Structure 1
Amino acid sequence: MIKSTLAAAKVGICEHSPKNSRLYEHGRNGWTVLNTMSFRLGRDARAVERITVESWRARGWPPVLDNGLAYDGYTETVSLRVTSAAEIWTAVCSAVAATAKPSELVI
């Protein structure tokens, strides 16, 4: 997911079902879904998210705040000023290869 007003990208996990409103809520808050990936097990999606976010933090890339304020899911964000959506998706795919089988991971 990206939010152009923050120049931020986000990875996140959500259940792919009609009862889940998480993507809708993020959309209402200005986020746009770029890619999704389905996993058979939620633990695999969590591992990919963890590996991806840890790689950002290891590079010294902090989460993106909104005018200095935290918001829902901000810990899984990175600035698009230091990386690109395409580079993030490549990293997500590499994390998948390092974990297991392709729940729902969204970027």
Structure 2
Amino acid sequence: MAGGNFHDRADEPATLYVIQNQARQALKIGVAHQDRIVGRLREHDRHGWTTELTLEFKEGVQALQVERAVIAFLRSCGVASHLPQCDMPQGGYTETFAHVGLAKLDLKDVTSLAELAARLVQRSNCPVHAHVLHLAEAADEVFRLAKDGHKEQARKLWALVQPVMEETIRALE
């Protein structure tokens, strides 16, 4: 098991990592059990990757949520290409991203995104994409109520939604 896949042990501590291979112009985001992270990163290092960020989680499921959120964001920005499997003999090629700079993103953007996603997941104990989706749905409902003439109901709902949105924005800073 090259990558130490642990979906069946996701309740155990894990580490999310972001690594870079400058020669291949690629980034990778991955997750490994905390008892395997040192070996996993050494294996990547042997293949030309450098560790740029590690984040520890008490539960692997949270690390997986952050990994999924970062991957989904990068793909939504058009960073869909990944390295071929033959370039990743140590495994994990599906979580690689080649030419991130084409989307006008850099390593700092990706590590900042991972750190933000980690804070949100740990604070809310829910996937980041679910958190953002719920905020968007609540804002849509405020606008729908106001448009339909239910301005008092819209104000009451906005009073509940606004502090959560502000907290999310503070987390981005």
**1:28-61 alpha-carbon deviations (Å, 9 max, x no partner):** 1111001111111000000000000010111121
Q: Which residue of 1 aligns with 2:68?
A: 50
Q: Which residue of 1 aligns with 2:106?
A: 84
Residue 30 in structure 1 maps to residue 30 in structure 2:
no
Q: Which residue of 1 aligns with 2:155?
A: none
Q: CA deviation at 1:21?
A: 2.2
The AA in structure 2 aligned to 1:89 is T
Deviation beyond 4 Å, 4+ runs, structure 1: none
Unaligned runs of 5+ in 2: 1-18, 124-173
Structure with higher helix content? 2
Once the two structures are aligned, what percentage of the paired residues are identical? 28
The AA in structure 2 aligned to 1:29 is H
**Contact conserved, 2:30 with 2:67, CA < 8 A, in 1?**
yes
Q: Which residue of 1 aligns with 2:121?
A: 99
SS at match of 1:45: helix
Unaligned runs of 5+ in 1: 102-107
CA distance in 2: counterparts of 1:10 and 1:18, whole angstroms: 17
- Higher RCO (CA < 8 A, seq sep 6+): 1
Calculate the aligned-residue CA RMSD, in Å. 1.9
The AA in structure 2 aligned to 1:94 is L
CA distance in 2: counterparts of 1:91 and 1:33, whole angstroms: 16
TM-score, normalised by the number of residues in structure 2: 0.52
The AA in structure 2 aligned to 1:6 is R
Q: CA deviation at 1:19?
A: 8.2
Q: CA deviation at 1:64?
A: 2.4
Q: CA deviation at 1:25?
A: 1.0
Q: CA deviation at 1:80?
A: 3.7
Aligned length: 98
**Contact conserved, 2:79 with 2:100, CA < 8 A, in 1?**
no
CA distance in 1: counterparts of 2:20 and 2:75, whole angstroms: 18
CA distance in 2: counterparts of 1:19 and 1:92, whole angstroms: 17
